[in-house]
Structure 1
Amino acid sequence: MLHAPSLRLAALPFALSLVPQSAAADAPHWSFANLSVNRLDWSSGTEQRTADDAAKSDFTYLEIEGGAGFSWGEVYAFVDIENPGHDRFDEASGGSENLRTAAKVTSHLYLGESPFSLYLHVYDFRDYGYDGREQDQVIGLGYRHTFASGLWVKPFLAAARVQSDGYTGSNGGMLGWVAGYDFSAFDQAFSVTNWHEQTFDRDAEYLSQNYVGARADSVGTNGAVALWWHPHRLITTGVQYRYADNKLGTPKQYQNAMIYSLKFNFL
């Protein structure tokens, strides 16, 4: 069974060490946290395209997620447990529904009064049945802007490093963003969000060692677009369109899924 230390977010202490020491006394300007249950349903086309290479199978995952904003910057994090209750290697599915974990920490450390920031990002993925692991460590320049309409966007451009069972070292760069917009309809509160990551100039050795069968292209795409309904302050439900290309272990193939989520907001 999974224990918390097995997540081993090695870069998290490094990221936290960059937070100003006065931060502990700085009350957050905003914060949120939730616990959710989610069902990811891959398209039939994705399941066919990946059948012989990092095969995709629908799965349920539990997630704890939260974030906070301070005068010095902002931090966001989540931890997912995929296929909870399954064995480390799931015999019935041939390994496609193994117990897995994914975790991510991102932060914008503000550069004075400007809209620019030092951007830090750590993503850690583990497939326990195959002893597979990959941790992406990203550092670069971020930006924050809210339009008069209420649309907000936080893009970043960064250098990337990876630690995995197949390759450890620098791994090109990453261009990405998170964006969102809150609105009302039918006397109900809704929001639309998008996260997107475009990796580029990835290392040739990484592409050979971390993809089975064929080598992936140097550019990879990863992201999701979501529509959220907020019927009550304690409850959020939503649907996400998940997309990826030359990522998630499958080279030269587009992958897409729908994710159905129910969140309990406890902060």
Structure 2
Amino acid sequence: MKNVKTLTLIAAAVAAMTTGTVQAEQYYGFANVSVNYLDWSDGTEDRSRDIQNGFGAKSDFVYIEVEGGAGYNWGDVYGFIDFENPTKMDWQKDQDDGSKAFRIAAKGSVAVNMGETNWNYYGHIYSLSDSSGFYEQNIVLGVSYDINTDFGLWVKPFLGAHFAHNSAIGAGFNGGMGGWVLGYNFKMAGQDFMVTNWNEIEFAREDEYRGFCTTDTCTGPGDAGFQNTNGKSTGLNGAVALWWNVSSEFTLGVQYRYADNKLGTAAYQNAAIFSAKYNF
């Protein structure tokens, strides 16, 4: 039921992204659906398999994404819903390989202007669940700042308190998170291109989030039975992408996906993502 409520709220936020109100002036808006293939590097697959003795080993997958965002005179909103391994939508709670399970990932964010400044009250919620029974939710509450230039570059850094809910360890305060989203629009050979980057840095994470115990006598890092799934007290997560706007309706992209001490593996991970979007 928690998963359903969370996804319902995020879906409502995404639906509201391209819908203005009588009081709000809309500056921009976009919505798209995409098909994507994520290809983990061989080294990532080996490291994730060896470090956890098979637990959390990475596996390539296809996902379908619905994405949207909008900017208003009061602030901006953004969100997406991903359906990973969409051909495996059967109820396999006893499945022991979560890397090949059907997963739903969703994120919604909002930035509310602080008066006439570039500062914003910021918050985002991210939820991931899969058919093997795993569930995690991350909430960040803090501030963000808008940087816009006349030459096509925009940057939105943020910093906030981080709260996590994980099906293996429960829920609680999990330190802080800082990061940014940026984009740069440019033309080359008469074509429209854009470079984007999103980056998240978790810090001062709780020991419980760095892993979980598989025996009754295990209490934390250093004990027998402790699965060191997220490694250090800091973690990195993000992607850099090049997008080619073939037309107003169609976009192709390639992304470099990276993570370190995150995504269930206490090591560096990287992948290539190939994307095709239809823009509404």
Structure-1-length-normalised TM-score? 0.88
Unmatched 5+ stretches in structure 2? 215-225
- How many aligned positions are there? 255
The percent identity for this pair of structures is: 47
Secondary structure of the residue aligned to 1:85 is helix
Aligned twin of 2:108: 105
2:146 matched to 1:149? no
Please point out which of 37, 40, 43 is paired with 1:39: 37
Aligned twin of 1:134: 136
Please point out which of 76, 82, 85 is paired with 2:84: 82
Kindly state the Cα deviation for residue 27 of structure 1 after the two structures are TM-superposed.
4.1
Aligned twin of 1:193: 196
Aligned twin of 1:48: 46
Please point out which of 93, 115, 123 is paired with 2:126: 123
Kindly state the Cα deviation for residue 71 of structure 1 after the two structures are TM-superposed.
0.7
Please point out which of 5, 8, 14 is paired with 1:8: 5
Cα deviations across residues 223-251 of structure 1 (Å, max 9, x unaligned)? 00000000100001100000000110112
Instruction: Specify the code of the residue in structure 1 equivalent to 2:264.
Output: G
Cα deviations across residues 160-207 of structure 1 (Å, max 9, x unaligned)? 111121220100000110000000001100000000000000111222
Alignment partners' CA distance in 2, 1:133 and 1:202: 18
Instruction: Specify the code of the residue in structure 1 equivalent to 2:27.
Output: H
Please point out which of 224, 236, 244 is paired with 2:239: 224
Kindly state the Cα deviation for residue 94 of structure 1 after the two structures are TM-superposed.
4.2
Alignment partners' CA distance in 1, 2:213 and 2:181: 26
Compared CA separation, residues 197 and 227, structure 1 to 2 (3 A): same
Kindly state the Cα deviation for residue 88 of structure 1 after the two structures are TM-superposed.
4.0
Please point out which of 161, 178, 183 is paired with 2:186: 183
Secondary structure of the residue aligned to 1:246 is strand
Please point out which of 211, 230, 248 is paired with 2:263: 248
Deviates more, 1:193-202 or 1:88-97: 88-97
Asked if 1 retains the 8 angstrom alpha-carbon contact of 2:95 and 2:101, the reply is no
Instruction: Specify the code of the residue in structure 2 equivalent to 1:261.
Output: S
Alignment partners' CA distance in 2, 1:240 and 1:135: 24
Alignment partners' CA distance in 1, 2:33 and 2:115: 33
Instruction: Specify the code of the residue in structure 1 equivalent to 2:84.
Output: E
What CA RMSD, in Å, does the superposition of the two structures yield over aligned residues? Answer: 2.6
Compared CA separation, residues 260 and 188, structure 1 to 2 (3 A): same
Alignment partners' CA distance in 1, 2:154 and 2:239: 16
Compared CA separation, residues 173 and 6, structure 1 to 2 (3 A): closer
Secondary structure of the residue aligned to 1:49 is helix
Instruction: Specify the code of the residue in structure 2 equivalent to 1:24.
Output: T
Asked if 1 retains the 8 angstrom alpha-carbon contact of 2:3 and 2:129, the reply is no
Kindly state the Cα deviation for residue 157 of structure 1 after the two structures are TM-superposed.
0.6
Alignment partners' CA distance in 1, 2:178 and 2:210: 18
Asked if 2 retains the 8 angstrom alpha-carbon contact of 1:167 and 1:210, the reply is no
Kindly state the Cα deviation for residue 59 of structure 1 after the two structures are TM-superposed.
0.2
Cα deviations across residues 65-111 of structure 1 (Å, max 9, x unaligned)? 00001110100000000000213449999442100010000111000
Secondary structure of the residue aligned to 1:255 is strand
Aligned twin of 1:114: 117
Structure-2-length-normalised TM-score? 0.85
Alignment partners' CA distance in 1, 2:269 and 2:25: 41
Unmatched 5+ stretches in structure 1? none
Asked if 2 retains the 8 angstrom alpha-carbon contact of 1:201 and 1:219, the reply is yes
Alignment partners' CA distance in 1, 2:196 and 2:116: 26
Asked if 2 retains the 8 angstrom alpha-carbon contact of 1:39 and 1:60, the reply is yes
Alignment partners' CA distance in 1, 2:80 and 2:270: 21
Instruction: Specify the code of the residue in structure 1 equivalent to 2:5.
Output: R
Instruction: Specify the code of the residue in structure 1 equivalent to 2:71.
Output: G
Cα deviations across residues 39-76 of structure 1 (Å, max 9, x unaligned)? 00000000000113410000000000000011101000
Kindly state the Cα deviation for residue 254 of structure 1 after the two structures are TM-superposed.
0.3
